[in-house]
Chains A and B, each alone.
Chain A
Amino acid sequence: MEDLRKILAEHPFFKELKEEYLALIVGCASNVRTDAGKIVFREGEEANQFYLIRSGRVVIQLMTPNKGPVVIETLDEGDILGWSWLVPPYIRHFDAKAVELTRMIALDGKCLRNKCENDHHLGYELLKRFSEIMIKRLESTRFQLLDIYGDRS
């Protein structure tokens, strides 16, 4: 547990989070590993966890009828995977697949959701941090949609 606390405390995502909140989050954390090629979660599943990637790589992908799985983004060491646990209806919107042996810290979103309902300061702190991730992913997606490399001659 002390190891987990140290890792979480040093991660930029949890930077400057109050000690009491960090302790709460550590209580919801566990180490997990996923082998290369294994699915971490699938579209349509209940979203009750999110992950902090410690090593390895995970792709976020979407199954398409004609092309098969299309990779949207690759996440690796230090990245946060999954934010659907925070927003109703708490359902995964994409598949996540480990492309190499991946070690992560899994955080129990269901447990954290309840804690956030009871402590809005904690809820606001987490929402702020996840908003940053969501905005960054939205920006990336917009960038991808622009197809900018098609224009330069």
Chain B
Amino acid sequence: MATAPDLQSLKVDYKRNPMLPWPFHIKRVKHETEDTFTVELQPSGDLAEFSFQPGQFNMVYVYGVGEIPISISGDPANAKILVHTTRAVGTVTKAMDKLVRGDILGIRGPYGTPWPIEKSSGQDVVFVAGGIGLAPLRPALYEVVAHREKYGKVVLLYGTRTPADVLFREELEGWRARFDLEIYVTVDRAMSGWRGNVGVVTNLISRAPFDPRNTQAFVCGPEIMMRFTAMELHKRGVSNEHIYVSLERNMKCAIGLCGHCQFGPVFVCKDGPVFQYNQIKDMLVRWEI
């Protein structure tokens, strides 16, 4: 792996050039599951803080290996620490998984549209997460929990593969212990020792405690899961205008120039990744896109 740049010798104004990554020090690496890990990063040099809105992503550069888009999974109220959670599945994420405290990652961002949390004020908020899709939703959850009084019922429905794949376990337990949050976790497969729910996440929607006529739903997970979730939410009475999903495509430049992430008439990096479901639902079932 190539060495990180010498920050002192670089006289580049990172803030002005959206294509140049800013060096961030790894402060902590936490392995959430067998293949999923979280890195906590601290900005270096002149950049003291990093602000973002829930739902946005960064382009994360492992020096000498490559750059990939990863959603931000940390608390938007904490601008001192940038948090990313990802699975070690590709060349870049596998290289990232080998990094340790003190190593440097390049960051460009934040990019993309946020979850429209402000629209949910006075309404019930339902988060539906599938697998690693909980990571991009976590900043929105932090935001809603921090201003809990502004919202009606707050529900998280989280589905994942097996009990061993449950992310942010301690945090989920903490939220579950609160009386003002409804947290439901389900897994697709389990042995009889698992005391939680087994079944797909869409099964939780029909009996989750929220008023469908006064609900904003934020959905993130594999595309097929989001499609079926939107269908179930709609069946329950939530209008498509109140359902938001986060898409993932082949983001490269992240500023809507290169066209790699074009999805019909939109660029996922610039017009998304968070979309109102109505805006993209017809395209999700078109194979040629």
* Assembled-state Cα–Cα distance A76/B199 (Å): 11
Determine whether the beta carbon of B188 is less than 8 Å from that of A149: yes
A interface residue count range (under 10 / 10 to 19 / 20 to 34 / 35 or more): 20 to 34
Determine whether the beta carbon of A147 is less than 8 Å from that of B161: yes
Determine whether the beta carbon of B191 is less than 8 Å from that of A69: yes
Of B12-20, B45-53, B128-136, B142-150, the one with at least 4 CB within 8 A of chain A: B128-136
List of B residues within 8 angstroms of A68 by Cβ:
191-192
Determine whether the beta carbon of B195 is less than 8 Å from that of A99: yes
* Assembled-state Cα–Cα distance A72/B200 (Å): 10
Among candidates A71, A146, A147, A153, residue contacting B192 with C-beta atoms closer than 8 Å: A71
Is A111 part of the binding interface, using a Cβ–Cβ cutoff of 8 Å?
Answer: no
- The total of Cβ contacts below 8 Å across the A-B interface reads 85
Determine whether the beta carbon of A59 is less than 8 Å from that of B131: no
Main secondary structure on A side of the interface with B: mixed
Determine whether the beta carbon of A149 is less than 8 Å from that of B222: yes
List of A residues within 8 angstroms of B133 by Cβ:
152
Among candidates B89, B90, B203, B222, residue contacting A140 with C-beta atoms closer than 8 Å: B203
Which of A68, A139, A148 has the most B CB atoms < 10 Å from its CB?
A148
List of B residues within 8 angstroms of A150 by Cβ:
161
Determine whether the beta carbon of B90 is less than 8 Å from that of A144: no
Q: Which residue of A lies closest to B225 (CB)?
A: A148
Determine whether the beta carbon of A143 is less than 8 Å from that of B192: no
Is A70 part of the binding interface, using a Cβ–Cβ cutoff of 8 Å?
Answer: yes
Known contacts A148-B224, A153-B90, A140 near B131 by CB under 8 Å: no
Is B186 part of the binding interface, using a Cβ–Cβ cutoff of 8 Å?
Answer: yes
Interface residues of A in 96-153 (CB under 8 A from B): 97, 99, 136, 139-140, 143-144, 146-153
Determine whether the beta carbon of B207 is less than 8 Å from that of A74: no
Determine whether the beta carbon of B191 is less than 8 Å from that of A74: no
Known contacts A99-B195, A146-B224, A149-B160, A70 near B189 by CB under 8 Å: yes
Known contacts A59-B198, A143-B228, A144-B200, A153 near B89 by CB under 8 Å: yes
Determine whether the beta carbon of B188 is less than 8 Å from that of A144: yes
Binary flags per residue of B168-209, CB closer than 8 Å to A gives 1, else 0: 000000000000000000101111101111111011000100
Q: Which residue of A lies closest to B131 (CB)?
A: A149
Determine whether the beta carbon of B130 is less than 8 Å from that of A149: yes
List of A residues within 8 angstroms of B222 by Cβ:
148-149, 151-152
Q: Which residue of B lies closest to A64 (CB)?
A: B191
Nearest-neighbour CB distance to chain A for B66, whole angstroms, equals 13
Nearest-neighbour CB distance to chain A for B39, whole angstroms, equals 15
* Assembled-state Cα–Cα distance A73/B160 (Å): 14
Which of B132, B191, B248 has the most A CB atoms < 10 Å from its CB?
B191
List of A residues within 8 angstroms of B221 by Cβ:
148-149, 152
Is B87 part of the binding interface, using a Cβ–Cβ cutoff of 8 Å?
Answer: yes
* Assembled-state Cα–Cα distance A149/B132 (Å): 8
Is A49 part of the binding interface, using a Cβ–Cβ cutoff of 8 Å?
Answer: no
* Assembled-state Cα–Cα distance A144/B186 (Å): 12
> Could you name 14 residue pairs across A and B whose Cβ atoms are closer than 8 Å?
A69-B192, A71-B198, A77-B207, A99-B195, A143-B225, A144-B188, A144-B200, A147-B161, A148-B131, A148-B224, A149-B130, A149-B188, A150-B161, A153-B86
Q: Using CB atoms and an 8 Å cutoff, list the residues of chain B in contact with chain A.
A: 86-87, 89-90, 93, 130-133, 159-161, 165, 186, 188-192, 194-200, 202-203, 207, 221-222, 224-225, 228, 248
Given A78-B207, A149-B222, 20 further pairs, Cβ under 8 A: A59-B198, A68-B191, A70-B190, A70-B191, A73-B198, A74-B196, A74-B197, A76-B207, A99-B195, A136-B203, A140-B200, A140-B203, A148-B222, A148-B224, A149-B160, A149-B161, A149-B221, A152-B131, A152-B132, A153-B86
Q: Using CB atoms and an 8 Å cutoff, list the residues of chain A in contact with chain B.
A: 59, 61, 67-74, 76-78, 97, 99, 136, 139-140, 143-144, 146-153
